[in-house]
Amino acid sequence: MKEILETLAKGENLAPLQAEQAFSHLLHGKLSPVQAGALLMGLRAKGETPDEVGAGVRACLREARKVDGLDKVGPRIDTCGTGGDCRSSFNCSTAVALMLAAMGYKVAKHGNRSVSSSCGSADVLEAMGVPLDSDPSQAAGELDRNNFVFLFAPAYHPAFKHVAPIRAEMGIRTLFNLMGPLLNPARPTHQLLGVAEPRFLPLMASVLADNGVERGAVVHGAGGFDELTPFGPSTVLWIQDGEVRPDVLDPEPLGLGGGRPDDVSVIGPVESLDVLRELLAGRGHPTMVRMLTLNLAVALHLLEGFDMATSAGLAREAVASGIGAERFGAAA
């Protein structure tokens, strides 16, 4: 560790083997709090690289509780973001996940409680009566039967007990904030991943592409959101079979543009739940409806390969139909 910390102190990147060793020691509780804090601060201060984040992801997944039987499930998608956009927006990625499941797609949602939103995915799903305690041995079966399973991050990553106190004491962003959306133990074949800070788009896309996802999109929305937004063009990095292609997605030609950032904000868990129920029932604020439809359209594009205009049309019909509320009993 002395050599690793000295490398970081010089502002130099860790070699792949160094990064693997550092994260292995960290997750096995072999680092003192001072060493662990120095490692995380050193990585942030010089700027994390795809190799370093990738090493952290691999180390975390090795220690995660395994989900068996996924080969029988087939294609599965996750919709999530890094958080940290501080926009207190409605639970768009959760709404997209539930809509996809209602439409017959397999959704393995990996998430946690609130970070930057008024109510995290775990909070709102728990309020809706969705169980958060899926066992790894049963998760694949639940996904196959119900098209949806929620993998509560703290329950699937027990090694984080060595990291959580350090992160809490540091109180700042660390590499673990970036790794969260990359650590789904159900290993989704498709992924819609939002990034709050645009400078991390290439890093996240590179790591996701190297992790074997078949098709993915790493996005940053207009207004500084970690989701696609209707009030301006969004930056998108498309991923397919290990290749990354940059793009800009304008919602206007899809008929999904308009509104302001304030239109999609909510205050507290009660309003978050009410808004989610309204949207799943095909109602709600027009800007929120457009934002849900836009993100759902991109997810359908990833899963089916339809062009964006076709995907947007299908998403618009699905949202308007209220199929989400019918499936999850969330009608207001």
User: Which ranges of the chain does DSSP label H, i.e. alpha helix?
Assistant: 2-9, 16-27, 33-46, 50-63, 92-102, 121-127, 136-146, 153-156, 164-170, 175-179, 201-210, 268-280, 286-304, 308-321, 323-328
H/E stretch holding 240 reads strand 234-240
pLDDT of residue 330 exceeding 70, the answer is no
Residue 40 one-letter amino acid: L
**Nearest to 205, CA basis, from 26, 54, 19, 35:** 54
Judged by average pLDDT, the poorest of 104-113, 117-126, 164-173, 294-303 is: 117-126
Count of alpha carbons within 13 Å of 153, Cβ hemisphere only?
A: 23
CA angle 293, 206, 36 (to 5 degrees): 110
Alpha carbons 80 and 240: distance in angstroms, whole number: 18
**Across 62-78, average pLDDT:** 91
Where do the structural domains in the chain lie, given as residue ranges?
2-63, 74-328
Give the pLDDT mean for 197-225.
Answer: 95
pLDDT of 156 over the 90 cut? yes
- Neighbouring residues of 107: CB distance < 8 A, sequence distance ≥ 6: 76, 77, 78, 79, 97, 98, 100, 101, 143, 147, 148, 149
Q: So what's the architecture of 2-63 in CATH?
A: Up-down Bundle (1.20)
**Helix (H, G, I), strand (E, B), or coil: what is residue 195?**
coil
Mean pLDDT on 226-232: 96
pLDDT tens per residue, range 109-152:
998 765 444 456 787 888 888 877 788 989 999 999 999 999 98
Structure tokens at 64: 């995660």
Quote the CA–CA distance of 222 and 252 in Å, as a whole number: 13
Q: Which CATH number fits domain 74-328: 3.40.630.30, 1.20.120.330, 3.40.50.11290, 3.40.1030.10?
A: 3.40.1030.10
pLDDT of amino acid 127: 81
237-295: per-residue pLDDT in tens?
999 999 999 999 999 999 999 999 999 998 878 888 999 999 999 999 999 999 999 99
Pair 90, 216: CB distance under 8 Å = no
Pairing verdict, β 234-240 and 243-249? antiparallel
Q: Report whether 30 contacts 125 (CB < 8 A).
A: no
